[in-house]
């Protein structure tokens, strides 16, 4: 009997010490992942992919979503730094609001990877991984040029622009990429903008909000297109804003349906593409980005230097941040099967 009790005691002690060793090992491998919001489909995919890939690589993950609220995101990052995370991966809500909390992370020697969106004016940012944001914009612009054959068609064509959140460093890259392609046609009068709203500040959409994009478009239509004026082009920087613009057109606009651009291939927008309500989107495979960031994390954790492929474009105000840019891919109703279904990103049922 005594022997049995002793054996049980020994087993329990061994189990306890193994558990302690394990949780120490785990806290040595904890990675914090801060995402902006669950409201937009892509961030759910980004978060889920990061979590899975990091776990597969043997890491523990503290994944948090901040409901697009800056104070919440700051608190989450603070908890991650204090909670023993060894690396922080952050998709910022407002690129300019993390300076103070990241200064604390830097004091603790916690490397920071800016995920998709650059974190501005903080010298705590070690690396940046994203898609080529300028190229997203040029692809949208080139699509418009080619679809309307702007080099040969007489025109003029009418256009309205909807851009992204001014607090998101990506938003200007998308806008500049598209405008660099379209500017010559605007300057020559082949493209006209009846609302007159053209510079980034007047076309930006706070929080990339569908509702705000829709409300703004309602006002533009009633002021400029209610008399039957044809609208040919809606340059929208991403899918959440394109969705709002399409909603507004459905409710208020009676002319021929314009070209509408987008980005992300969100399910609702792919459905709109299949219904002819959105012309194109840009596919940014979040699996590719997550895989690249996991490689970065792994390299940092092993004391190696992560792979980067762009060391000049992204200056966050404290200097150029070594970056890895993934390539965005053009998507429309003609190739969605190949790039979205055959690649296993969505099922047909997702889009039904
Ligand atoms: C991302 C886009 C996304 C937008 C709104 C940007 O920073 O790069 O993919 O559509 O944020 O969430």
What are the tens digits of pLDDT across the range 200-254?
999 999 999 999 999 999 999 999 999 999 999 999 999 999 999 999 999 999 9
Angle at 208 (CA atoms; ends 202, 214), nearest 5 degrees: 70
Bridge-based pairing of strands 323-326 and 280-283 is unpaired
Average pLDDT over residues 81-99: 97
- Give the pLDDT score at 16: 42
- Give the pLDDT score at 27: 62
In this prediction, residue 18 has a pLDDT band, given cuts at 50, 70 and 90, of very low
Pocket test for ligand 1, best of 34, 36, 39, 42 (most atoms within 8 A of CB): 42
Average pLDDT over residues 186-192: 98
Q: Determine what percent of the chain is predicted with pLDDT higher than 90.
A: 91
Asked whether the beta carbons of 280 and 332 are under 8 A apart, the reply is: yes
Between 202 and 7, the more confident residue is 202
**In the chain, alpha helices (H):** 2-27, 41-56, 70-82, 99-107, 133-147, 169-187, 200-203, 210-224, 239-252, 267-274, 286-301, 336
Closest ligand 1 atom to the C-alpha of 131? 8
Q: What share of the chain is helix, strand, coil (3-state, %, to 5)?
A: 50, 15, 35
- Give the pLDDT score at 303: 96
Cα–Cα nearest to 119, from 319, 300, 343: 319
Pocket test for ligand 1, best of 120, 166, 263, 314 (most atoms within 8 A of CB): 263
Give me ligand 1 centre to Cα 174, in Å. 10
Give me ligand 1 centre to Cα 279, in Å. 18
Three-state secondary structure call for residue 258: coil
Closest ligand 1 atom to the C-alpha of 208? 5
- Give the pLDDT score at 6: 47
Q: Is 117 in the pocket of ligand 1 (CB under 6 A)?
A: yes
Q: Is 116 in the pocket of ligand 1 (CB under 6 A)?
A: yes
Three-state secondary structure call for residue 294: helix
The H helix count followed by the E strand count for the chain is: 12, 12
Average pLDDT over residues 143-149: 98
Q: Is 208 in the pocket of ligand 1 (CB under 6 A)?
A: yes
- Give the pLDDT score at 110: 98
Q: Is 263 in the pocket of ligand 1 (CB under 6 A)?
A: yes
Q: Is 165 in the pocket of ligand 1 (CB under 6 A)?
A: no
Cα–Cα nearest to 135, from 167, 100, 177, 166: 177
Whether pLDDT at 10 is above 70: no
Average pLDDT over residues 131-138: 98
- Residues comprising the chain, all counted: 352
- Give the pLDDT score at 200: 98
- Report phi then psi at 322, rounded to 5: -55, 130
- Give the pLDDT score at 189: 97
Give me ligand 1 centre to Cα 11, in Å. 52
Whether pLDDT at 76 is above 90: yes
Whether pLDDT at 72 is above 50: yes
Whether pLDDT at 126 is above 90: yes
Cα–Cα nearest to 300, from 120, 130, 157, 89: 89
Cα–Cα nearest to 333, from 275, 268, 283, 286: 275
- Taking all residues of the chain, what is their mean pLDDT, rounded to a whole number? 93
Pocket test for ligand 1, best of 117, 170, 244 (most atoms within 8 A of CB): 170
Give me ligand 1 centre to Cα 238, in Å. 7
Tokens, residue 307: 């792979």
Tokens, residue 126: 């070690």
Asked whether the beta carbons of 323 and 279 are under 8 A apart, the reply is: no
Three-state secondary structure call for residue 159: strand
Bridge-based pairing of strands 329-332 and 60-65 is unpaired
75 Cβ contact partners less than 8 Å away, ≥ 6 residues apart:
none
**What does the pLDDT look like over 238-297, one tens digit per residue?**
999 999 999 999 999 999 999 999 999 999 999 999 999 999 999 999 999 999 999 999
Whether pLDDT at 24 is above 60: no
The rounded Cα 56 to chain-centroid distance in angstroms is 23
Asked whether the beta carbons of 182 and 151 are under 8 A apart, the reply is: no
């Amino acid at each position: 009997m005594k022997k049995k009790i002793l054996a049980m005691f020994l087993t329990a002690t061994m189990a306890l010490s193994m558990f302690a060793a394990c949780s120490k090992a785990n806290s040595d491998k904890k990675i914090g992942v801060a995402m902006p919001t669950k409201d937009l489909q892509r961030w759910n995919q980004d978060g889920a992919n990061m979590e899975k890939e990091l776990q597969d690589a043997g890491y523990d993950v503290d994944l948090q979503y901040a409901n697009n609220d800056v104070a919440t995101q700051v608190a989450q990052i603070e908890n991650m730094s204090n909670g023993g995370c060894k690396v922080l991966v952050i998709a910022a809500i407002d690129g300019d609001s993390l300076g103070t909390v990241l200064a604390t992370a830097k004091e603790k020697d916690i490397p920071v990877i800016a995920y998709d969106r650059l974190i501005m004016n903080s010298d705590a940012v070690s690396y940046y991984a994203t898609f080529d944001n300028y190229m997203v914009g040029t692809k949208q612009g080139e699509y418009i040029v080619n679809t309307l054959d702007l080099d040969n068609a007489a025109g003029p064509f009418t256009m309205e622009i909807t851009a992204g959140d001014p607090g998101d460093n990506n938003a200007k890259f998308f806008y500049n990429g598209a405008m660099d392609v379209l500017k010559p046609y605007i300057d020559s009068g082949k493209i006209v903008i009846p609302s007159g709203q053209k510079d980034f500040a007047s076309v930006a959409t706070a929080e990339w909000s569908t509702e705000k994009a829709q409300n703004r478009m309602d006002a533009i239509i009633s002021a400029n297109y209610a008399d039957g004026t044809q609208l040919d082009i809606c340059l929208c920087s991403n899918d959440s804003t394109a969705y709002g613009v399409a909603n507004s057109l459905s409710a208020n606009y009676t002319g021929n349906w314009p070209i509408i651009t987008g980005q992300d291939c969100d399910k609702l927008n792919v459905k709109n593409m299949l219904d002819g309500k959105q012309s194109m989107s840009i596919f940014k495979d979040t699996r590719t980005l997550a895989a690249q960031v996991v490689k970065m994390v792994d390299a940092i954790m092993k004391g190696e230097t992560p792979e980067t492929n762009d060391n000049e474009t992204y200056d966050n105000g404290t200097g150029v941040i070594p970056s890895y840019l993934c390539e965005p891919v053009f998507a429309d109703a003609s190739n969605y099967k190949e790039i979205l279904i055959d690649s296993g990103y969505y099922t047909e049922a997702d889009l039904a």
